[in-house]
Amino acid sequence: MKTLTTSIILALCWCTWIEAAPAKAAAAPAQGNPAAGTAVVADKLYQETYRPQFHFTPAKNWTNDPNGCVFYKGEYHLFFQHNPKGINWGNMTWGHAVSPDMVRWKQLEHAIHPDKLGTIFSGSAVVDSGNTAGFQTGQEKVIVCIYTSAGKPFTQSIAYSNDRGRTFTKYEKNPVLGHIAGSNRDPKVLWHEPTKKWVMALFLDKNQYALFGSPDLKAWEKLCDVLVPGAGECPDFFELPIDGNPKNTRWVFWGANNTYLLGTFDGKTFEKESGPHPSNWGGNCYAAQTWSDIPPSDGRRLQIAWMHRGKYPGMPFNQQMSFPTELTLRTTPEGVRLYKKPVREIENLHAKRHAWAGRALAPGGENLLAGLEGELFDIRAEIELGKATAVGFTLRGQKVQYDVGGKKVVALRMTAPLAPVDGKIRLQILLDRTTIEVYGNDGLISMPTCFLPDLANRSLAVYAEGGEARIVSLEVYELRSAWE
């Protein structure tokens, strides 16, 4: 919201535009320059110079919030805010892609188009396994999308599919939830098994949200209000076990800026126990959403976000998604906190592996990565800090550094607190053509940030400053492109 003028905020306060303007944050993500004389390719689909190779982007034009994340019959569905007519924000329509593994995506035809109720803003999707809405006409279970109709005023509508999400029909009696307050929007719906009803988390206005209940996705009643200080828009709401114990759970209430509350939910009232807590320290992460209907045999809570404010000069597309992550709740000395780490499916792209263990890391000493160069890597390291004042990596000229005295990670001018454990830190870093995503101590911190690379610099380095450290273990995986 801080990127827009006050007059625009008052007139156009909605989730799908707020990051369309250039960022003015004091700690802006690094945006380098291409090397002089280096050719930029823009006409080879999915092989363009600045096309991310394992982060989802549409074939062309603008995209922002992930929408309607749902799993059905072996396919992860990703709907997304999309402008089918231009490279900048506007004409909001639900784009659509599917994947067998959240890594290799196939873009389908647009799913939901603007109508007399307005353009199609953010929302969610569910599988109506019990046919509570009565839309099922064949053998396939119905996928129902719940979205904001961004007319005057904003209302909430639904559309449904009987063919595995290939085509959608809008409910003839839309909207299913009328205007309540402000630019109320971004419905996130889940099935609450104990009370046998659907629950909707909805943004209302400012820092105000609410929960609603329905037996059939058509008729909704208000359950309770929820206040998330410092947050706004694009809620999510889900339950997670603490430390993997299914008998000890908490509910997570999530806001668009990655702030979350922890509490309890009895089917009617959400009772906050702690928060708001931050979950992101990177420069480019917004409007995250988790997938619904993940099979119990899997059981993971999976999330994807818009990596907003990235720069892609001369490209046919604009903006990208984060790499999907798995969320867990774990007990820390400060209390229960949300952990986030890349989904294991990144291993589907692993190619050549390079590994080291028990190696000294001395200032001015050998660079273990001197023989490696490229654009796409999954780096996993455990480092004993020893007498070093800093340790880190330089990736295509961009530093990811741990400040030992400050107990913090500094990456592309963003910082995140990270205390060592028994004198050691663990890092996982995903490097794509235009992004560096850093995860510390198994996901206690996450830092997804965009950058514009120097095309001539494909080098990697690992280093220590101020004293000797030790590489306990270091694995560097070269990655294949997901578009191959």
Residue 399 CB-half CA count within 13 A? 14
Task: Return the residue matching tokens 């005023």.
Answer: 153
- Please report the domains of the chain, with CATH numbers, ordered by start residue: 6-25+56-322 (2.115.10.20), 346-479 (2.60.120.560)
What single DSSP character describes residue 104? S
Q: Give CA–CA dist 237/58, Å, rounded.
A: 27
**pLDDT value at residue 33:** 52
Phi, psi at 127, each rounded to 5°: -95, 120
DSSP conformation letters of 11-48 = H---TTTTTSSPP--TTPPP---PPTT-----SSTT--
Binned average pLDDT, 10 residues per bin, the chain of 484 residues: 31 36 34 58 96 98 98 98 97 98 98 98 98 98 98 98 98 98 98 98 97 98 97 97 98 97 98 98 98 97 98 97 98 97 98 98 96 97 98 98 98 97 98 98 98 96 98 98 95
pTM for the full predicted model = 0.93
Active site residues: 65
Task: Return the residue matching tokens 């599988």.
Answer: 127
**pLDDT value at residue 28:** 37
Neighbours of 370 (CB within 10 A): 11
